[in-house]
Structure 1
Amino acid sequence: MIDLRQLVMFRQVVESGSFSAAARSMHCTQPAVSQQIKALERTVGGPLFARVGRTLRLTEAGTTLARHAADILDNMAVAQQQVRAVATLETGTVRVCAFPSANATLVPYAAAALKERYPQVRLELLEAEPPESYQVLRRAECDVVVAFTYESELPRAAETGPAEAGMLEVPLLVDSLVLLVPNGHPLAGRRSVQLADLAGETWIAGCPKCRSSFVDACTGSGFNPTIACATDDNLALQGLVAAGLGVALLPSLVLAFLQHPDVVPVRVEPVLRRTVSAYTWPDLARTSAITAMLEALRSAADSIGPTAFPTTSA
């Protein structure tokens, strides 16, 4: 019978592309990885890898095992989550993985409410953007994910999103995007602007998921945006706008905790929105601590409401 640890090492070699990279990621030595792979090859009855020059490639047997390994290990992760859900978390740890602006706004208030109700519960915060955060939940490395979905993604999300994968979705709030321009920009005194009128602007783009939805919105308004640079850092993005290097679209939730003094938010028409939701496995949602965390997130979201932003007086 195939040893589970050997199967984990095998998949790590497949994903990393080499024995040495797999050893580093698993915090062990390369000979230890080689020994486990050789033992796995003896179990299955043939070689799983072949070297072609300096490249490590899967044999036909290796390709077959890689396909099954993904299913087996994914099912093991789900099983781990379901077994873990049986045990009480009242004196354990609640692990929340959220995107940066949620970790700076929603999560702290929810964490305080959880601590008040369950003082013995330890809260562990992780940070990741979707869809990476969904994979963190799949790997049983967190209990609750806070993620966002843009309106343009909804048709695809219905077919391939986390809900389709069996995750429970708890909607929290709707977050609107705003245009950020530097002080002194011709649009800085406007209450609102049509996205189609921004075709001539140079843009600073955000995280890959936000960037993709931003480009889709611009294309839908009849133009392809000229992107000068991109950054995942909300403070850096605002700094680039303040320096006059371009304009940007930024979620209002970010401005709830962080606004550069030299940028001005302007409403964009049509309004671009994203839905912020919490996700967990249905079995986990039945445990008292996870239920309390979801309720605390809903309460924090209700206190914020549909996110708005300060408008100019002009």
Structure 2
Amino acid sequence: MFDSRHIQTFAEVVRTGSYAATARDLGYTQPAISQQMKALERAAGTPLFVRAGRGLRLTDAGQVLARHATGILSTIATAHGQLKAITRLESGRVRVCAFPAANATLLPATVARVAAAHPGTRVELLEEEPPDSLRALREGRCDLALAFSTGHGGEATDADGDSDSDSEGGLIELPLLDDPLMVLLPAGHALAGSSRVELGELERERWIAGCRHCRGHFVAACAEAGFAPDIAFATDENLAVQELVAAGAGIALVPGMTLPLLRHTGLVARPLAPAVGRRVSAFVLEGHETAPVTALLLRTLSEAAADMERAASGSPRPEA
């Protein structure tokens, strides 16, 4: 059975090429490093290094172990992170990792409701675009992730778009809302008075593109409409997109959930025909969905998302 500390030291020896350099980097003595490597070789049942001048060369067995060492250490780190996540949840503390639009719209309403009803629950917010948010979840750096999928090739999330469970990654998905894309136009644009805009009508426009995942969705939608967009600018900043469109530098596709953030009076947002959108979901690690604080947050997110969809459609909120 391998000792994880020995594997970590082995990986460092492979990186530095010598026991002496590894000892300096890890703060051990050189004999201590040598003893750890001898213990690892005993566990492996074969030599892992041979001398090559003043350095070391991996044996065939050593090369095999070196190929697996990074994965072994990554798995251990992920397990450690997930165990820490359980400790956080048991103490009533939950870390949420979401993309910027969700952090600016869906999460504030959710956090406010949780704080009002359960003041002892602490919600901490992180910001990452998918799939980085899902990677943070798997590694235990957060307890719940908000991500989106588009339905085009190259999903923004790395979860299975057709299932509530990502069996390979051990994730549970809770779909929250369908988020339509809107075309953002200057108020004086020829199509600003249209109730809906066909994407093909915008073939000759200059465009402001968003984050790299949103950009991929946008380019794929344009390809389906029969053209390649002329992207003049690219920015992740919602206010920058608004200012660029208002200044006449181009037009943009923006998620419908960001419309409450529309502050510029010189802009109009129009839905696309046919509709183009993405699905926004919450993800948790399998087995963590039953933790009281996670269940509370999932329930509150679902309520806030339903309110957001009702507000976008103009429907009144049902009486309790």
Give the shorter-chain TM-score range: 0.7 to 0.9
Structure 2's unaligned 5+ residue stretches are: 17-22, 42-47, 51-57, 315-320
**1:158 aligned to 2:139?**
no
Question: Corresponding residue for 2:75?
Answer: 74
Offset of 1:62 from its aligned partner? 6.0
Q: Distance in 1 between matches of 2:11 and 2:262?
A: 44
Deviations 1:255-297 (Å, cap 9, x if unpaired)?
A: 1233322221122111111111100012111110111011110
Query: What is residue 25 of structure 2 aligned with on the other side?
Result: 32
1:223-250 deviations in whole A, cap 9, x for unaligned? 1111111111111111111111111100
TM (norm. structure 1) is: 0.78
Give the TM-score of the pair, scaled to structure 2: 0.76
Identity %: 36
**Residues 92-101 or 147-156, more deviating:** 147-156
For residue 121 of structure 1, report the CA deviation from its aligned partner. Answer: 2.0
Query: Contact (CA 8 Å) 2:97, 2:142: kept in 1 or not?
Result: yes
Aligned residue-pair number = 286
Contact 1:207 1:231 in 2 (8 A): yes
Gaps of 5+ in 1: 19-29, 48-57
In structure 2, distance between residues paired with 1:153 and 1:173: 20
Aligned 1:87-98 pairs, distance under 5 A: 89=89, 91-98=91-98
2:175 corresponds to 1:171: yes
Q: Is the 8 A contact 1:91 1:120 kept in 2?
A: no
Counterpart of 1:138? 138
- Aligned partner of 1:211 in structure 2 is 215
C-alpha deviation, 1:102, in angstroms: 0.7
Cα shift at 1:92: 3.4
Deviation (angstroms), 1:83: 7.3
Deviations 1:154-187 (A, max 9, x none): 9885389982422000111111000011121111
Correspondence for 1:224: 228
CA distance in 1 between counterparts of 2:254 and 2:296 reads 30
1:69 Cα deviation after fit: 2.4
After superposition, residues 1-314 of structure 1 pair within 5 angstroms as 1-4=2-5, 7=8, 10=11, 31-32=24-25, 39=33, 43=40, 45-46=48-49, 61=62, 64-74=65-75, 76-78=77-79, 80-81=81-82, 84-85=85-86, 89=89, 91-153=91-153, 157-158=159-160, 163-164=166-167, 165-305=169-309, 308=312
For the residues of structure 1 that align with 2:9 and 2:266, how far apart are their CA atoms?
50
Query: How many Å separate the matches in 1 of 2:115 and 2:267?
Result: 36
Task: Report the secondary structure of 2:287's partner residue.
Answer: helix
Shift of 1:134: 0.6
Change (3 A) 1:84 1:183: closer
CA 1:223/1:71 → structure 2, altered by over 3 Å: closer, same or farther?
farther
Which protein, 1 or 2, shows the higher relative CO under an 8 Å CA cutoff with sep ≥ 6? 1
CA positional deviation for 1:84:
4.7
> What CA deviation, in whole Å up to 9, does each residue of 1:181-205 have, x standing for no partner?
1121111122111111211111110
Amino acid at match of 1:46: F
Contact 1:82 1:283 in 2 (8 A): no
8 Å contact kept, 2:84–2:140 = no
In 1: Cα distance, 2:205 partner to 2:9 partner? 49
Residues 285 and 181 of structure 1, relative CA distance in 2, 3 Å threshold: same
Relative to structure 1, is the Cα distance of residues 34 and 265 closer, same or farther in structure 2, using a 3 angstrom cutoff? farther
Provide the rounded CA distance (Å) in 2 between the counterparts of 1:100 and 1:175. 14
Cα distance in 2 for partners of 1:5, 1:127 equals 35
Quote the Cα distance in structure 1 between the aligned partners of 2:112 and 2:4: 43
The separation in 2 between residues aligned to 1:59 and 1:34, in whole angstroms, is: 26
